[in-house]
Structure 1
Amino acid sequence: MAKYLLKRLFYLILTLFLIATITFFMMKLLPGTPLSNESKLSHTQIQMIYHTYGLDKPVWQQYLIYLAGMVRGNFGLSFQFDNQPVSYLLATRMPASFQLGIQAMIVGVLLGIIVGGIAAIRRNTWVDGTMTVISILMISIPSFVLAILLQYYIGLKAGAFPVAGWGNFSYTILPTIALAGSPFATTARFIRTEMVDVMSSDYIELAKAKGLTSTGVVYHHALRNSLIPLITLIGPLTVNLMTGSLVVENIFAVPGIGEQFVKSITTNDYPTIMGITMMYSVLLVVVLLITDIVYGIVDPRIRLQGGRS
């Protein structure tokens, strides 16, 4: 187990290093500068600002300073957000994004398990067909399109929930539903496929022969064994939530990381872009690491293979 964890930690650190390096040099290759839109500044003022932010140093020095600061959690000062530390901006905006992400994951996965399980039990019936169509539609519709539809019909027309902004729990319902669409559809299709496969296994027939009720067979054998491989979906689902939240947060005016990221891109705010990119990267690789560890505990064969390779 120790070798398995060390190997995963090594890949985690290497991945973050490569992401940090690629992100840094990509920012340097982009056209324009953070001060491109500041036409009122004189050349002398621009040079002073560059000196303050260390942008007048050679690129390799900027790179080393960036890596050293990143290790300490210091991503520098934002160009566009009142020269505030990027780490402070992230800390103040993370709660809203995390709340939406966690809510969307819980709602999407739980509903997906229920719908996928029902579809598997009622396979090859109209119930199965209907739920399959719903899952395909939900996975085909981009989260930002679903967000606009929810905002217009449920928020604006029906007036059931706030259209935009951030306040009490009601403000989170529409963006949560918009973000939960992809996890729901992915989970439902996965559980349906796994349960159909499990329910055709020999040990399920043996359980039925022993006199177990249909409910007992489904819950104690089919569903439980289908949930174990679901662990492998946590990583991809997290990626989908991250990418979807970038636009959905802007649509609903949620003061989260996604909204800040989009604004930073439009203003060439390099420190904020790199800080948010690294935050998302750390979150993703940590989720993948936890997924690997949990799956290794659940299925020792994975752990043993990881230790040998």
Structure 2
Amino acid sequence: MNQKYGLNKPLWDQYLIYMGNLLHGNLGTSFQFNNQPVTQLIAHDIGPSMQIGTQAMIVGSVLGILLGAVAAIKKNTWVDSGATFISILGISIPSFVLAVLLQYYFGYKLQWFPVALWQNFSSSILPTLALAAFPLANVARFMRTEMVDVLDSDYIELAKAKGDSERKTITHHALRNSLIPVITIVGPMAVSIMTGSLVVENIFSIPGIGNQFVQSILTNDYPTIMGLTIFYSFLLVVIILVVDILYGIIDPRIRLGNGGKE
């Protein structure tokens, strides 16, 4: 086996061989999954992981923005207190604990959703909610803080003095300017979803790359571990690139290569 996988060679030689294969898109072959190429394993199992990860990102971002905006508009009211309480819960409860609670109450007790396995869209709802809780709370907290500052700024007072309605002032001025700092947490938010999915996928028996990652660690399947680590790193770089592009879309003053001038 050592000879088959080149494990009998010096470490520097193994490293050079691996990096050479990596440049050609070859992540090696799995020890555990019948010598299948790691790239094939990732391609086969990425679907469920991407689905629940994307859903969690969308749900967490949209609901977090709405919750934070409402809390800022209704500052120092019971609505603000309720939103703050929800944010504290979302940040405090780990995704795997929330996953077990959702699985027990909504899957086992109420039987509204499947307890586990991957069957249809309903199978993705509970994992999505478990992964979306922390991003939702984080976005809501940032959004409230930023929007409170924006609503107290001079240009908001100017917009009101010009006769703009409260709805127009919030949607055209306050909301858009509040989103710019919030986007900075999209990268860390993606990391929290990635790391949370490793455990959540195992809890719900989802055949995704998170579950595959954990199984590879338990069986010392080093090529799969390294391949998935590289894939997660690449995915994070892509997300950060998308965030940088979104800066320019949300704030036209931010442009690459023109010194910030229109």
TM-score normalised to structure 1 length? 0.80
Report Cα offsets for 1:208-266 as digits up to 9, x if no partner. 11111111111111111112222212111111111100000000000001101001111
Matched, 1:181 2:133: yes
SS in 2 for 1:228: helix
SS in 2 for 1:53: coil
Partner of 2:56: 104
CA distance in 2, matches of 1:300, 1:64: 45
Please say if residues 114 and 188 of structure 1, whose CA atoms lie closer than 8 Å, have aligned partners that are also in contact: yes
Matched to 2:240, the amino acid is L
Partner of 1:77: 29
Partner of 1:250: 202
Matched, 1:157 2:109: yes
CA distance in 2, matches of 1:195, 1:59: 53
Partner of 2:166: 214
Shift of residue 302 of structure 1?
Answer: 7.3
Please say if residues 100 and 203 of structure 2, whose CA atoms lie closer than 8 Å, have aligned partners that are also in contact: yes
Partner of 2:89: 137
Matched to 2:154, the amino acid is D
2:150 to 198, 203, 215: 198
SS in 2 for 1:123: coil
CA distance in 1, matches of 2:235, 2:258: 25
SS in 2 for 1:105: helix
CA distance in 1, matches of 2:115, 2:99: 10
CA distance in 1, matches of 2:27, 2:131: 28
1:115 to 58, 61, 67: 67
Matched, 1:259 2:216: no
Shift of residue 75 of structure 1?
Answer: 1.1
Matched, 1:239 2:191: yes
Please say if residues 59 and 136 of structure 2, whose CA atoms lie closer than 8 Å, have aligned partners that are also in contact: yes
C-alpha spacing 1:126/1:303, structure 2 compared with 1 (3 Å): same
Matched to 1:238, the amino acid is A
Matched to 1:108, the amino acid is G
The runs of 5 or more residues in structure 2 that have no matched partner are none
1:62 to 3, 14, 20: 14
Judging by fraction of residues, say which structure has more helix.
1
TM-score normalised to structure 2 length? 0.95
2:176 to 203, 213, 224: 224
CA distance in 1, matches of 2:253, 2:175: 20
Shift of residue 294 of structure 1?
Answer: 3.3
Please say if residues 247 and 254 of structure 2, whose CA atoms lie closer than 8 Å, have aligned partners that are also in contact: no
C-alpha spacing 1:126/1:281, structure 2 compared with 1 (3 Å): same
Moved over 6 A (4+): 304-307
Report Cα offsets for 1:40-99 as digits up to 9, x if no partner. xxxxxxxxx111111111111110011011111111111011111111000001111000
Shift of residue 299 of structure 1?
Answer: 5.8
CA distance in 2, matches of 1:300, 1:223: 16
Matched to 1:244, the amino acid is G
Partner of 1:289: 241
C-alpha spacing 1:244/1:305, structure 2 compared with 1 (3 Å): farther
CA distance in 2, matches of 1:173, 1:294: 27
Please say if residues 166 and 253 of structure 1, whose CA atoms lie closer than 8 Å, have aligned partners that are also in contact: yes
The runs of 5 or more residues in structure 1 that have no matched partner are 1-48
Please say if residues 232 and 295 of structure 1, whose CA atoms lie closer than 8 Å, have aligned partners that are also in contact: no
Matched to 1:101, the amino acid is G
Matched to 1:124, the amino acid is N
Matched, 1:90 2:42: yes
C-alpha spacing 1:306/1:132, structure 2 compared with 1 (3 Å): farther
How many residues are paired up?
A: 259
Report Cα offsets for 1:144-166 as digits up to 9, x if no partner. 00000000111001100000000
CA distance in 2, matches of 1:230, 1:261: 30
Identical columns (%): 63
